[in-house]
Amino acid sequence: MTVMEELRTRNFSLYGQWIGILSILICLAVGIATIFTFNVGLIIFSAVCIATGLTIIFVEVPFLLRVCPISGNFEQFVQKFNNNIPRGFFYLGLALIQWFTLFIRGSSLIVAAVFLTITSACYFLAAAKKQEFTTSTALGGQGMAQQII
| Residue 50 placed within a domain | yes
| Residue 18 placed within a domain | yes
| Residue 29 placed within a domain | yes
| Residue 6 placed within a domain | no
DSSP string, 30-79: HHHHHTTSS-HHHHHHHHHHHHHHHHHHHHH-THHHHHS---HHHHHHHH
| Residue 1 placed within a domain | no
| Residue 19 placed within a domain | yes
Range of the domain at 44: 12-138
| Residue 93 placed within a domain | yes
Domain count within the chain: 1
Give the pLDDT of the chain (149 residues) as one tens digit per residue: 566 666 667 788 888 888 999 999 999 999 999 988 888 989 999 999 999 999 999 888 877 777 888 888 888 888 888 888 999 999 999 999 999 998 988 888 999 999 999 999 999 999 998 888 777 766 655 543 333 33
| Residue 149 placed within a domain | no
Task: Kindly report the pTM of this predicted structure.
Answer: 0.84
